Amino acid sequence: MQDFLEFRTISKGYPGVQALSNVSFSVRKGAVHGLMGENGAGKSTLIRVLSGDQSADTGEILIDGAQQHYRSVRDAFHAGVIVIHQELQLVPELTVAENLWLGRFPGKAGVIDRQQLTGVVSKKLAEIGIDVDPSVKVASLSIGERQMVEIAKAVMLDARVIALDEPTSSLSSRESEILFSLIDRLRANGTVILYVSHRLDEIFRLCDSLTVLRDGKLAAHHPDISKVTRDQIISEMVGREIANIWGWRERSLGQERLRVENISGAKLRHPISFSVRRGEILGFFGLIGAGRSEMARLVYGADARNGGTVSVDGVTITADSPPHSIRSGIVLCPEDRKFDGIVQGRSIEENMTISSRRHFSPFGIINPKKEGALADKFIAKLRVRTPSRRQDIINLSGGNQQKVILGRWLSEEGVKVLMIDEPTRGIDVGAKSEIYEILYELAADGMAIVVISSELPEVMGIADRIMVMCEGRIAADIPRAEFDERRILAAALPDVQNANTLSHAQVR
DSSP 8-class letter at 340: I
Q: Is 83 helix (H, G, I), strand (E, B) or coil?
A: strand
- pLDDT one digit per residue (tens) for the chain, 508 residues: 578 999 999 999 877 678 899 999 999 999 999 999 876 788 989 999 999 988 999 999 999 999 998 888 888 888 889 898 866 678 888 888 888 877 666 666 566 767 767 777 888 788 777 778 888 898 888 777 787 788 788 777 778 999 998 888 767 777 788 888 888 988 988 999 999 988 888 999 999 999 999 889 999 999 999 999 988 887 888 775 555 678 899 999 999 999 999 999 988 878 999 999 999 999 999 876 788 989 999 999 999 999 999 999 999 998 788 889 988 999 998 876 666 767 787 888 888 887 777 766 766 777 788 888 888 888 887 778 788 888 888 888 777 888 888 888 877 778 899 999 988 876 667 778 888 988 998 999 999 999 999 888 889 999 999 999 988 999 999 999 999 888 998 888 775 434 333 333 333 3
Q: DSSP of 21-33, one letter per residue?
A: EEEEEEEETT-EE
Q: Is 59 helix (H, G, I), strand (E, B) or coil?
A: strand
List, in order of start, the domains of the chain with CATH numbers.
3-238 (3.40.50.300), 255-329+415-508 (3.40.50.300), 341-413 (no CATH)
* CB-side neighbour CA atoms (13 Å) of 330: 30
* CA pair distance 177, 500, nearest whole angstrom: 18
- Please, are residues 155 and 271 in contact by the beta-carbon 8 Å criterion? no
**Distant-in-sequence, close-in-space partners of 211: CB < 8 Å, separation ≥ 6:** 25, 33, 34, 35, 36, 218, 220, 221, 222
Give how far Cα 196 sits from Cα of 77, 139, 193, 251, 305, Å. Answer: 19, 26, 9, 36, 39
- Please, are residues 439 and 424 in contact by the beta-carbon 8 Å criterion? no
Binning the chain into helix, strand and coil, the percentages to the nearest 5 are 40, 25, 35
98, containing H or E segment: helix 96-101
Query: In residues, how long is the chain?
Result: 508
Distance of CA 407 to the CA centre of its chain: 18
Give the Cβ contact number of residue 278 at 10 Å.
20
